[in-house]
Structures are given as structure tokens and as C-alpha cells.
Structure 1
């Protein structure tokens, strides 16, 4: 169990996590089992919130087969259909790191990851005991040179779905608003094509505007005392 630390999502609250190490020959199976009961992976550790006076963090997943994009989401899919998407082995690059730095500076200035250096990023990507890719999203290539990297997502493939560990993108790209939403939708379509029923989005936090986007990709299931059940979150903010 970790010591209490200030909650990054709800002012005045403190977070505490329970965690376990993922190692040995059955690390992937353990990660799958823990994922189904609300744990998330970070490098070789699986964790979930264990806050004594708060239960705002709720594990959520999208039911891929039943997902139908909204009108706004269809526009985002159309706008970005020219992107070249590649599932790369989990090996960090300077291009990815510079994209991450720009994303953090734009969307999460002063956040817990703002001091991440190249070695920290390499550890985040490369230290994985499970089946992991980093999915790259590039603009169309010019000649023989690869196109500009505009998005990426560290993604685990679990037995019952894709788990989006961390995504980042060019949040200031004037011609591609909604890139973050596109990356999620691409994962939903990938899961469906692979015959995987779910896309795990991590924790939706009641009362946190930063987490409201996770309610846009219904149908959504949350983990409750009765298991995974469909639910209707509070209305999310409009898509950009």
C-alpha cells in the first residue's frame, strides 16, 4: 500500500493505491485477471486506488462490438482517416518523447509527469512483462520519409480486450482537433476487428472534468460491487 498523496483529480482529496509486482512466467495471466477487477498496469506493477474516504475513481471499459460513433465522432474519424497507424514494438524513440513533452506542456502543465526525462519515458514504454505495443499515428509520408508523428498510445493486449495504458498526441495541431478522441475510437475499431470485446480506458472520476471524455464512447461498463455493469455517466463536455 502506498502512503497518502494529494489526489491529482479532486482538490482537497488524498489518494492511496494498493499494488503488486508483475513478474514470473505467468505475469500476463496475472495482469489479465487483475485487469478484470479494476487494476491498471504501470511498467511491471499493477495497481488500483484504495482511498479510505473516497470511491470516485471507477474502472470503465467500452463494449467494442456495440459501439456506434456519434455524429461528432464520425467527423473526427473522417478528418483523420488519412493517418498511417502502426503497431510498433515497445521501444521508445526521441520522436515519441518530444511528442509527449509537447502534450504534457499543453494539457498537463505542472502535472506529475511534467518532470519525466528520456530515461523515465524509456522505462514507461519498455519495462513491460506483458504483450504490449506502442501504436503510432503518423501523417501521410512525403516520398520515402515517414510522415510526422502526431499521436501515440502505449497499449496492452489482454485476453478480453485492449488496455490503453497512456496516450499522447499533438494537442496544438490546428488541422486535427479531436486527436485524442480519434485514438480511442481507433482502439475500439481495432478491438472489434480482432474479436476482442472490450477497450479498457482506466478510471473515470466522478466530479473531474479531465476524465469526462471517457463517457463519450458508449456503451460503457463500470466495475461495481456486482461486477461489470452498463451505466450512463453524467453528461460529458461537447467534443472539440
Structure 2
């Protein structure tokens, strides 16, 4: 019988299921567990190879007849917001983002539930309970934070905190070379603020301030309208079979 070290990751392949991005396609994923003392190091390595994290699982598409999913990372040092992105920044100058330990709260779940019900009621997260949400936030063996965005408060100049209601939040991993946005959500009543775009712009500025060259945005899916927004953050690199390739569109 072959013996495997507990530090050696074992990879598994899911059964085919309907693709959530491209009608008529099926998806399969290869995945492994991120546990133990080497979890953060392994998460770094796998993210560089196009994997994403969900709780203590790292996964990557392994579809038999499609290669549309492409990993994307923004080059933070060279990024300059477009005119429309500057408008989004101006629209949200009353918000303060504060990085916190990845601990779930009822306020977060309320915003998460409202977001899912409004934007993704037919998606894979539609049935997530408060316990499922807590697992999504807490079940991590890597360096993870939850950044909360609140309305700017009177004490901001002293403490840097917002005091108002929770407007949005982003679950984010700190990698050796960047920030990886695992999942973000917002109160749908504030959709006019373009909060999804704002949180990406804020993460780019955070990565710059930390001296990190990349913000990882997950997968851009050619032909999927819901993923097309990721093309707007330029310059960026996309992972092709043999290397990351710079894209300037």
C-alpha cells in the first residue's frame, strides 16, 4: 500500500454538473484540502497556479470540453482608475473600510442574505443558512480577514473607523504577493453606489499601500456577462496554460 505524507496534498475530481456561467456547458473541478501548518504556503502556491479558495478547499475548473475560466490578477502598481471608476470612488467617499478578524456577525449575515436573495437567488449559495455563512467566514487555515465598509463616523480622523450601518463586506486572503478577494457582498438597497467595483478599487489601494503587486479577482469567464466586469481593471494578467500574460485593452 502506498503511504502518503500528511503534508502532501491529495487532489480529487468532482462529478460533472451544470455550468453556472455558460448555458449548455458542464463543469468539473479539481480540489484539495487546505489544512495544517502548510495551508497558507499551499494556498499561495495553488493561487499562483489558478486555484481559488472556498473555506478549507482549494479548487480549479477541470472541464473536459471548455477552457473559458481564466484566472485574473490586477497589477496594482500600474493601475490608474478610469473616469467612471473615479466617479465610483467619489460616490463612496463617505465609506470607511476596516479590516477585521474573520469572525461572522448577525449584521454581516443580514447583508449577505439580502445580497444573495436580490442578486443570486438561483445560485449555489441560495440555500445558505447562518451556520453555512459562519463556516464560510471561519473555516480558514490561511491568513484571512473580513473588511467591513461602513458610513464614515465623527471619530474617523482619530480612529479611522466608520460608525454607521454595515454597507458592504469582503472576505479577503493575504497572500505573499497580493490580496485575493474570496467573496464580497453588499446591501442591495445601496446598489447605486456600485459597491462591487468600489471594493475592488479599495483592495487595489490596500495592496499598493502594503507593497503587494497583485489583487486576485478569481475567474474571468469569456462569454459570461456576469463575469465581464473583471475586464475593466487594467492592466491585469491572465493565467494561460504556461504563464501569466499581461493584458492591456
Please classify the TM superposition score into its range, dividing by the shorter chain length: over 0.9
After TM superposition, give the deviation of residue 6 of structure 1 in Å. Answer: 0.5
CA RMSD of aligned residues (A): 1.6
- What TM-score does the superposition give when structure 1 sets the normalisation length? 0.93
After superposition, give the CA deviation of every residue in 1:141-180 in whole Å (9 maximum; x if it has no partner): 4799931111000000000000000000123226x42111
Aligned to 2:229: 213
Aligned to 1:171: 188
After TM superposition, give the deviation of residue 85 of structure 1 in Å. Answer: 1.0
Higher mean C-alpha displacement, 135-144 vs 15-24: 135-144
1:1-240 superposed matches below 5 A: 1-141=13-153, 146-173=163-190, 176-232=192-248
Instruction: Tell me how far apart the structure 2 counterparts of residues 33 and 207 of structure 1 sit (CA, whole Å).
Output: 28
Higher mean C-alpha displacement, 23-32 vs 149-158: 23-32
After superposition, give the CA deviation of every residue in 1:177-210 in whole Å (9 maximum; x if it has no partner): 2111000000000000100000000000000000
Bigger Rg over Cα: 2
Contact 2:96 2:162 in 1 (8 A): no
Unaligned segments of structure 2, at least 5 residues: 1-12, 156-160
Aligned to 1:238: none
Contact 1:61 1:199 in 2 (8 A): yes
Instruction: Tell me how far apart the structure 2 counterparts of residues 128 and 145 of structure 1 sit (CA, whole Å).
Output: 26
- What TM-score does the superposition give when structure 2 sets the normalisation length? 0.90
Instruction: Tell me how far apart the structure 1 counterparts of residues 106 and 190 of structure 2 sit (CA, whole Å).
Output: 19
Unaligned segments of structure 1, at least 5 residues: 234-240
